[in-house]
Amino acid sequence: MKVEVWSDIACPWCYIGKRRFARALVEFERRDRVEVVWRSYQLAPDAPARETRPHDALLAAKFGIPREQVAPMHARLAAEGAKEGIAYDFASVRMENTFDAHRLVQHATGVGRSDATLDRLYAAYFEQGEHVGSHDVLVRLAKEVGLDPVVTGAMLASDQYAADVRTDQARAREFGITGVPFFAIDERYGIAGAQPADAIVAALRQAAAAS
């Protein structure tokens, strides 16, 4: 069974969805037969390298609402994240372009470190206010999860994996994916959003029974 997961490093629900998916896999009886492939998706492909305005100001502008109305949205996310062991710090989050971070995940996939790399990127972005669009930061984070910093730096300085990121995003459009996280099971079953772990398990079992 192949599960492809489209997500964005700058998507808070994707972080929650990843944690819930991990719990679902633990409960799934055939987890040893599941191949997980992390696919690239950008919610804001035209975002600047790093935005200076606070996260709540950007959301207020995006949805056309007063800034104080963003607080309940962040509170809900923080509460859901806490259930999954995530300590969101939205005050330190700054929107930025995640294209190079996705290239790093593509690079990590080739050496079997995509899962750990994604976890580190999410924590860096949402819990520590790190600038995950910076090559220096990406090299440091890559080293922390066991990737060669010299090789990583050379990769980021090139356009390596850029085509892979764009291909993932093109496939998302072909599948009609307009939001993330999105889980595609054997290209036949889809799970949209950060569903509860038991719902993911049920979908995995349904797909397994039909195979």
pLDDT per residue over 45-54, tens digit each? 998 888 887 8
Predicted local confidence at residue 45, as pLDDT: 93
The tokens for 193 are: 């959003």
Segment 29-39, tens digit of pLDDT: 999 999 999 99
Predicted local confidence at residue 59, as pLDDT: 85
pLDDT confidence tier of residue 115, bands split at 50, 70 and 90: very high
What does the DSSP 8-state code read for residue 68? Answer: G
Beta bridge partners of 189: 185
What integer best gives the mean pLDDT of the chain?
95
The 10 Å Cβ neighbour count of residue 92 is 14
Q: What are the boundaries of each domain within the chain?
A: 2-210
Query: 150 CB contacts (<8 Å, ≥6 apart)?
Result: none
Q: What is the mean pLDDT of residues 181-208?
A: 96
Residue among 84, 90, 76 at smallest CA distance from 129: 90
Classify domain 2-210 at the CATH topology level.
Glutaredoxin (3.40.30)
Segment 134-189, tens digit of pLDDT: 999 999 999 999 999 999 999 999 999 999 999 999 999 999 999 999 999 999 99
Beta bridge partners of 147: none
